[in-house]
Structure 1
Amino acid sequence: MHTDVFYSLFQTSLHVFVYLLGVVVLCDSFCFFKLLEIKDLNNPPKGCTDRDGKLYDFGSEWTRDCVQCSCTKDGMSCCSILPDADTMYIPEDCELMVDKEACSAKVVLKSDHTKVCDPIQ
């Protein structure tokens, strides 16, 4: 009887671990840091400038094109909200579906995009 309880607990724990591992993998994304450039000591920068030249004040945070950024006096730090499919393990019968409007992603069956892939079968 104790063996059945132990096995059931082990199986449940394994399912939880695998699902949490999937969440961690989905959170894997690219990040970068752009060091603040001080060109004129008499006229220091007032914030960080993004790739389009928009100025953000020190201490500000923003999200644009599914990339979250923050600005400090050291520079600008940005990370993609979307996972990087190149660093993920995706089963052969599944694929990564990305919604750039909602900045979300999920791994679904290739044969039926309405069904999320189950890593345990």
Structure 2
Amino acid sequence: MASLHVFICLLGLVVLCHSDCFFQELVLKDLKNPPKGCVDLDGKQHAFGSEWVRDCMDCSCTSEGLSCCSTLPDANTVDLPEECELVVNKEACSAKVVMKSDNTKECNPI
């Protein structure tokens, strides 16, 4: 059981290390009328210092710009044993490692 907890912790680190991120630098168009925040990809304004989650992306707005990182791991970058696979649920913004032979069973690589 302890090895399962270690595996889950390691998987969490892998998720953090392999998350897709982007940064959109704040552009000053008019020095006399500086922006009051960031505009996200949908055109919505967010105040400096704000944080939000949308489409499984953790985003934040600073005076430097807009920064977003996926909360989901990229299945192509997670190193798993051959008998296991990563199942990502984008609607619930969750991921789990399961047995390829039976997706109802969590994978225990040890």
SS of 1:88 mapped into structure 2: coil
Q: Which moved more, 1:92-101 or 1:17-26?
A: 17-26
Structure 2 counterpart of 1:111: 101
- Within 5 Å, give how 1:1-121 maps onto structure 2: 17-27=6-16, 28-120=18-110
CA distance in 1, matches of 2:53, 2:4: 33
Q: Give RMSD over aligned pairs.
A: 1.9
Q: Which moved more, 1:100-109 or 1:15-24?
A: 15-24
* Residues 100, 108 of structure 1: alpha-carbon distance in 2 compared, 3 angstrom cutoff: same
Unaligned runs of 5+ in 2: none
Unaligned runs of 5+ in 1: 1-11
Q: 1:13, CA displacement in angstroms? A: 7.8
Amino acid at match of 1:21: L
Q: TM-score, normalised by structure 2?
A: 0.87
Percent identity of paired positions between Structure 1 and Structure 2: 60
Larger Rg: 1
Aligned length: 109
* 2:4–2:108 Cα contact (<8 Å) kept: no
Amino acid at match of 1:103: C
Q: 1:16, CA displacement in angstroms? A: 5.7
Q: TM-score, normalised by structure 1?
A: 0.80
Amino acid at match of 2:19: S
CA distance in 1, matches of 2:73, 2:40: 22
* Residues 16, 63 of structure 1: alpha-carbon distance in 2 compared, 3 angstrom cutoff: closer
Spell out structure 1 runs of 4+ moving beyond 4 A.
12-19
